Amino acid sequence: MTKKNSKSDIQQSKAPLFVSLGIIIVLILLYFLVPSYQQFLNEAWQVLTSNDETRIENWVSEFGWFGPVVLILAMVFQMFLIVIPSLALMVVAVLAYGPVWGSIISASGVFVASTTGYVIGKYFGPVLVKKMIGSSSEEKLENFINDYGFWAVVITRFNPFLSNDAISFVGGVLKMGYWRFIGATLLGISPLILFIAILGNNTESMKTGLIWGSVVSLILFVLYVWWDKRRKKSS
């Protein structure tokens, strides 16, 4: 009975993968059959992957009031297209809309993207998540969240060097409480957004500060993990 049930579970868990493949096929067909859709995607790809913040800012500004929506959607899609860093999109939001509205747009983008990743992980299951981020990364993040829970999400969000987006998927797979997860996400990302808002107009100083801040926070966290593991072994 157990073996039959496990086989049935595996087959059911693959169903969302087939649905996702179906959606991808439809989008590919639209790309080749609808010229305006193809043109927009080509332009969006070229601009968002250019690493030219001024070019991205100008492109986003052309959308007027719809620009913030474009940035938020870009933050969602960047979970699947790693070549578009979410940090760069936050910088663009601040440059295009100022420190206050840029921060609000950035926080909204992180909120929507994190919720999307969480829902995918929770309802589409580990099979799809492993396909997307790899079995090794998924297992490491699972252990990380199991060991440190709320603070694992906070630290990961705070440090751009860590797997920011992958933790959303894994948080959903582990069925971590949604409000606990999203609270940790917003708490961890807030200092980063504030830092970008303050130094957004001076990109060189901001990049230097982000690198040093990330390195220091990463070293401190590694030391904490090392100390915590030694403490657990001794007890």
H helices of 159-177, where?
166-173
Where is pLDDT greater, at 228 or 115?
115
pLDDT value for 201: 64
User: What predicted TM-score, i.e. pTM, was given to this entire model?
Assistant: 0.71
Nearest C-alpha neighbor of 187 from the set 151, 163, 216: 151
Of 68, 55, 75, nearest to 94 (Cα)?
A: 68
- Amino acid letter for position 145: I
Contact between 197 and 94 under an 8 Å Cβ cutoff? The reply is yes
For residue range 196-217, list pLDDT tens digits in order.
Answer: 888 766 666 666 666 776 777 7
Alpha-carbon Rg for the chain in angstroms: 20
Q: What is the model's pLDDT at position 105? A: 92
Give me the amino acid identity at 131.
K
Model pLDDT for residues 167-180, shown as the tens digit of each residue: 888 888 888 889 99
Nearest Cα neighbor of 53 from 210, 165, 211, 204 is 204
Answer for the pair 131, 17: CB distance below 8 angstroms, yes or no: yes
Question: Mind listing the pLDDT tens digit for each residue in 23-82?
Answer: 667 777 877 888 887 787 778 777 766 767 677 778 877 887 788 888 888 888 877 765
**Secondary structure percentages of the chain, helix, strand, coil, to 5:** 85, 0, 15
- Non-local CB neighbours of 217 within 8 Å, separated by 6+ positions: 155, 158, 159
